[in-house]
């Protein structure tokens, strides 16, 4: 591999890191702007002036903001995310389990949805403008157009209440047997799949169709290749950059955008964890989760960009 | 007749009616006394079945929860605490006290010195014996000014405490005849050394040992073999609470058979839930109410005529039927209902009277609109309630302007800060405690700024009075004062609406002290054989 491409990739990674740093500042500032403070939120209606003062003192909320930012950043760089103000638990270990749950669900949703979306996209191109294409596009668009909570409730109504095939609540815990765990996440994974399917499918279809207009596809047709062979050998590799882009974008969504699905299926993931702590003004947790989400997003986008760079033959084989 | 008798027997088994009611109603059905007696014996002697796993899907749990009973606030921690925790005493469904760790709570004649005798031979989950010192340390921890305990207010009156042998002796600054009721506060879980070493340890002497504690996800308990109460509680081998904050998901979990109980069924879906086979809706009148609070010391609400006009302009029947769908009872502008012991009877129910309201409103001399603040977090339907009130006020010529406040910060920025807003109260164990928390001049949560020396004196007298009849008269006077001159409009009291899979479980007894049988549902119910 040549140096210009390495340089490009290195630049892209450096940019990602810089972005992450900027996000950390933004997150910190954002959490400072929120109304009310954590002591008030923890005590809620039962707050009295003295219990508030006691709690603020105990939580170290009286330091100036920049000192708290530097302390926080230093902690993160040394792998210490601090302790949750509201429950006193170590954030890193609490997030660990939650993050793993979220990744587990996202992974299986991706395993189902990505090949399915690309496969359906290829199929739609093969039979473009025909009945199959319209059927695939129609169903996928319909499932995306329905709000995810509605899809969730439909799945619960039929699969959990009416037929009782899968559990309607997806509580998973450590030491749960693998098969039971898979059964528990069946419905949320299905809901997520339905939500992200259309975007990836449509993008695959559009990207490949775009390539299909090129002269070399005509050549391939003229040399007698079958339609699927043309798509597989000539069209798809050249459409990979936009497809990878939309796939990673959806992967990021599977990880950071699943709050609603987690709430409906009572799945103990990061989204639910974040929402609980925003409500409690538990700033260290909100900051840590926000940063992890940002990191996931930035990393996946970076991977998409790098894949696009690598997929570009002009960059791979410079003259 | 037999089906009716069956129904009666089932009611009796579930505690829906008393033995006496059962015999009376069975007689009305033409059953001979002897036969009814046998039936009653059978129904009432039904023994719990041991074993299995009982599960509840509950609203009100967050990943920010912990096991420290002092910070016990939301429903999930409340319910879980009742499984693993043990208390000095508890409130029975009829409002009487049942001693648990306390063998006896006795008072001096002036109700200022109280002696708690600790029952012998009760074992903590860690194998140690419950001693008077543990009880003392528990009270000390919760009474500490630095503590974050929700029971701090309840214990503020304690001047000094000491342990002597098997007894804890508590001296109060002011007399309080209700002291034993205060000890039943749900924060006061007796912990080894009061939880001073590790408040989050989850160790007490309740029927279940903490086995799983994943805040915001699930909590599980395993039957404690050496539970002191024997068969009193703890029939299932294991209990589990799954946190399900979404109302639809909760219902689906009950219908799908994943849980046996759920709490907080929304009033608007109750009639649908009733049609689900194998599930029964348990609506119990509690002490919670949803007030409209006016500050008595802030214009324009410092005018007694205006306050009365606003009270008379409230169409309570409409609010009860449209906001609570009938699952509640009418309020009468004082914070007490029949669920309290010594409820003051005979006070006339205040009714919607637009003419009288208009007349008083004119007399008050106020003009222009009145700003009412509301929010979804005040109580479910609070925004709709404000709008209905706006319409009924319009009929009396009173213009209400509604400001919808964000839910975030409602309890810190609006409630108890702004002069006219919607709120909720969960109620307290006794009338004196409720008044002391919300209506006495010096109370921090006097959210109507009702500051009346004569009221404070009445309360003081009532707290020191051990004669129940005299107390009842005092409470009657206090209620009258608040109802006619106070700043709180109480349109209705709510009900706890739980639902249980009665095709699979048995043992449910309605309890007005709190939702889910005051939190004891998992420990007191059992799986049918």
CB-closest option in A44, A49, A88 to B411: A44
Burial class of residue A309, CB neighbours in 10 A (0-12, 13-18, 19+): middle
State whether residue A93 sits within 8 Å of chain B by CB: no
Looking at residues A243-268, what average pLDDT do you find?
A: 88
Residues of B in contact with A42 (CB under 8 A): 64, 71, 148
| DSSP code string of A191-209 | HHHHHHHHHHHHHHHHHHH
Q: Do A43 and B148 touch (CB under 8 A)?
A: yes
Give pLDDT, residue A287.
Answer: 85
Domain ranges of chain A: 3-35+81-316
CB B138 within 8 Å of CB B204: no
State whether residue B146 sits within 8 Å of chain A by CB: yes
pLDDT at residue A111 tops 70: yes
CB-closest option in B65, B148, B249 to A264: B249
Q: Do A173 and B212 touch (CB under 8 A)?
A: yes
pLDDT tens for the 529 residues of chain B, in order: 344 555 555 555 444 455 555 555 555 555 555 555 555 554 554 789 999 999 999 998 888 888 999 988 788 999 999 999 999 999 998 888 999 999 999 999 999 999 999 999 999 999 999 999 999 999 999 998 777 788 887 888 999 999 999 999 999 999 999 999 999 999 999 999 999 999 999 999 999 999 999 888 899 999 999 999 998 899 999 999 999 988 888 999 999 899 999 999 988 889 889 999 899 999 998 899 999 999 999 989 999 999 999 999 999 999 999 999 999 999 999 999 988 888 999 999 999 999 999 999 999 999 899 999 999 888 888 999 999 999 999 999 999 999 998 877 788 789 999 999 999 898 888 899 899 889 999 888 899 999 999 999 999 999 989 898 999 999 999 999 999 999 999 999 999 999 999 999 999 998 888 899 999 999 999 999 7
Tokens of B101: 């760790």
**Mean confidence (pLDDT) of chain A:** 86
Residues of B in contact with A36 (CB under 8 A): 408-409, 412-413
State whether residue B257 sits within 8 Å of chain A by CB: yes
Dihedral sign for Cα B410, B416, B422, B427, please.
positive
Give pLDDT, residue A45.
Answer: 56
- pTM for the complete prediction? 0.80
Q: Do A280 and B64 touch (CB under 8 A)?
A: yes
Straight-line distance from the first to the last Cα atom of chain A, in angstroms, rounded to the nearest whole number:
13
State whether residue A162 sits within 8 Å of chain B by CB: no
Greater pLDDT, A54 or B107: B107
List the beta strands (DSSP E) in B30-146.
Answer: 53-58, 89-91, 97-99, 102-107, 113-118
Q: What letter does residue B421 receive in the DSSP assignment? A: E
Give the 3-state secondary structure of residue B506: strand
| CA distance linking residue A295 with residue B216, whole number of Å | 25
Dihedral sign for Cα B229, B235, B241, B245, please.
negative
Find the closest chain B residue to A47 by CA distance.
Answer: B412
Q: Do A173 and B73 touch (CB under 8 A)?
A: no
CB burial readout B459-496, b (16+ within 10 A) else e: bbebbbbeeeeebbebbbebbebbbeebbbbbbbbbbb
**CB < 8 Å from B in window 127-156 of A:** 153, 156
State whether residue B4 sits within 8 Å of chain A by CB: no
Instruction: Indicate the Cα dihedral angle B440, B445, B449, B453, nearest 10°.
Output: 10
CB-closest option in B146, B214, B244 to A266: B244
CB-closest option in A173, A265, A282 to B64: A282
Find the closest chain B residue to A35 by CA distance.
Answer: B409
CB A291 within 8 Å of CB A24: yes
Greater pLDDT, B328 or A45: B328
Tokens of A232: 């597989």
State whether residue B244 sits within 8 Å of chain A by CB: yes
CATH superfamily of A3-35+81-316: MetI-like (1.10.3720.10)
Q: What is the ipTM of this complex?
A: 0.74
Dihedral sign for Cα B207, B209, B212, B217, please.
positive
State the nearest Cα–Cα gap between A43 and chain B, in angstroms.
8
Tokens of A108: 């299986």
CA B77 to chain centre: 15
CB A65 within 8 Å of CB A32: yes
Q: Do A167 and B246 touch (CB under 8 A)?
A: no
CB-closest option in B66, B408, B415 to A88: B66
CB B208 within 8 Å of CB B221: yes
List the beta strands (DSSP E) in B297-369.
Answer: 328-330
Give pLDDT, residue A31.
Answer: 76
Q: Do A276 and B216 touch (CB under 8 A)?
A: yes
Q: Do B252 and A280 touch (CB under 8 A)?
A: no
Greater pLDDT, B160 or A258: B160
Q: Do A173 and B412 touch (CB under 8 A)?
A: no
Greater pLDDT, B40 or A28: A28
Q: How many CB atoms lie within 10 A of CB B440?
A: 18
CB B449 within 8 Å of CB B487: yes
Count of alpha carbons within 13 angstroms of residue A183, beta-carbon side? 10
Q: Do B150 and A46 touch (CB under 8 A)?
A: yes
């Amino acid at each position: 591999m040549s140096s210009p491409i390495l340089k490009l990739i290195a630049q892209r990674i450096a940019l990602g890191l810089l972005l992450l740093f900027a996000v950390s500042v933004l997150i910190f500032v954002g959490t400072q702007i929120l109304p009310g403070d954590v002591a008030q939120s923890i005590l809620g209606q039962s707050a009295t002036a003295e219990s508030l003062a006691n709690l603020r003192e105990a939580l170290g909320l009286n330091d100036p903001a920049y000192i708290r930012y530097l302390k926080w950043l230093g902690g993160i760089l040394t792998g210490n995310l601090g302790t949750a103000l509201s429950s006193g638990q170590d954030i890193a270990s609490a997030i660990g389990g939650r993050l793993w749950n979220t990744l587990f669900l996202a992974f299986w949703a991706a395993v189902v949805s990505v090949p399915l979306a690309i496969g359906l996209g290829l199929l739609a191109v093969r039979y473009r403008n025909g009945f199959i294409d319209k059927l695939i596009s129609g169903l996928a668009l319909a499932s995306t157009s329905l709000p995810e909570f509605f899809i969730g409730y439909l799945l619960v109504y039929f699969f959990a209440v009416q037929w009782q095939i899968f559990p309607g609540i997806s509580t998973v815990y450590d030491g749960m047997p693998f098969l039971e765990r898979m059964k528990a996440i069946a419905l949320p994974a299905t809901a997520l799949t339905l939500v992200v399917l259309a975007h990836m499918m449509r993008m695959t279809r559009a990207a490949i169709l775009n390539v299909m207009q090129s002269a070399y596809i005509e050549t391939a047709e003229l040399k007698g290749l079958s339609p699927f062979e043309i798509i597989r050998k000539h069209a798809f590799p050249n459409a990979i950059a936009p497809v990878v882009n939309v796939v990673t974008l959806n992967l990021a969504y599977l990880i950071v955008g699943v709050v609603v699905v987690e709430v409906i299926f009572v799945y103990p993931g990061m989204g639910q964890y974040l929402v609980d702590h925003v409500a409690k003004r538990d700033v260290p947790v909100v900051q840590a989760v926000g940063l992890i989400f940002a990191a996931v997003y930035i990393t996946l986008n970076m991977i998409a960009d790098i894949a696009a760079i690598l997929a570009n033959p002009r960059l791979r084989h410079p003259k | 007749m037999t089906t009716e008798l069956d129904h009666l027997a089932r009611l009796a088994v579930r505690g829906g009616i008393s033995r006496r009611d059962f015999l009376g109603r069975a007689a009305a059905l033409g059953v001979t006394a002897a036969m009814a007696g046998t039936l009653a014996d059978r129904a009432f002697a039904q023994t719990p079945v041991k074993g299995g796993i009982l599960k509840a899907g509950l609203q009100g749990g967050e990943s920010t929860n912990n096991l420290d009973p002092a910070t016990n606030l939301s429903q999930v921690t409340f319910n879980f605490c009742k499984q693993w925790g043990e208390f000095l005493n508890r409130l029975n469904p009829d409002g009487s006290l049942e001693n648990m760790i306390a063998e006896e709570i006795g008072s001096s004649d002036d109700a200022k010195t109280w002696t708690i005798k600790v029952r012998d031979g009760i074992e903590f989950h860690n194998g140690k014996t419950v001693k008077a010192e543990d009880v003392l340390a528990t009270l000390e921890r919760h009474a500490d000014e630095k503590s974050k305990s929700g029971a701090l207010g309840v214990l503020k009156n304690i001047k000094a405490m000491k342990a002597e042998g098997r007894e804890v002796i508590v001296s109060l600054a002011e007399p309080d005849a209700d002291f034993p009721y205060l000890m039943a506060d749900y924060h006061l879980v007796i912990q080894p050394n009061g939880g001073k070493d590790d408040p989050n340890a989850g160790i007490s002497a309740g029927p279940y040992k903490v086995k799983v504690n994943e805040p915001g996800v699930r909590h599980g308990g395993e039957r404690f073999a050496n539970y002191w109460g024997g068969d009193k509680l703890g029939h299932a081998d294991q209990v589990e609470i799954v946190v399900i904050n979404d109302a639809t998901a909760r219902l689906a979990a009950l219908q799908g058979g994943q849980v046996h109980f759920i709490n907080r069924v929304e009033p608007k879906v109750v009639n649908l839930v009733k049609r689900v086979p194998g599930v029964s809706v348990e609506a119990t009148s509690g002490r919670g109410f949803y007030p409209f609070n006016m500050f008595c010391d802030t214009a324009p609400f410092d005018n007694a005529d205006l306050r009365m006009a606003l009270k008379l302009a409230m169409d309570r029947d409409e609010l009860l039927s449209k906001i609570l769908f009938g699952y509640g009872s009418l309020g009468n502008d004082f914070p007490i209902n029949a669920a309290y012991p010594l409820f003051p009877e005979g006070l006339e129910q205040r009714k919607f009277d637009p003419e009288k309201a208009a007349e008083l409103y004119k007399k008050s001399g106020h003009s222009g609109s009145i700003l009412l603040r509301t929010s979804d977090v005040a109580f479910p339907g609070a925004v709709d309630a404000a709008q209905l009130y706006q319409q009924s006020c319009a009929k009396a010529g009173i213009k209400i302007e509604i400001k919808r406040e964000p839910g975030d910060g409602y309890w810190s920025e609006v409630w108890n800060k702004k002069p006219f807003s919607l709120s909720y109260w969960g109620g307290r164990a006794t009338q004196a405690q409720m008044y002391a928390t919300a209506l006495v001049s010096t109370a921090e949560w006097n959210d109507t700024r009702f500051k009346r020396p004569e009221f404070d004196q009445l309360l003081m007298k009532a707290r020191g009075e051990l004669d129940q009849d005299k107390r009842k008269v005092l409470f009657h006077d206090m209620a009258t004062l608040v109802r006619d001159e106070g700043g709180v409009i109480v349109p209705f009291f709510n009900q706890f609406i739980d639902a249980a899979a009665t095709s699979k479980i048995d043992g449910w007894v309605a309890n007005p002290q709190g939702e889910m049988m005051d939190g004891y549902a998992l420990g007191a119910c059992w799986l049918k054989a």
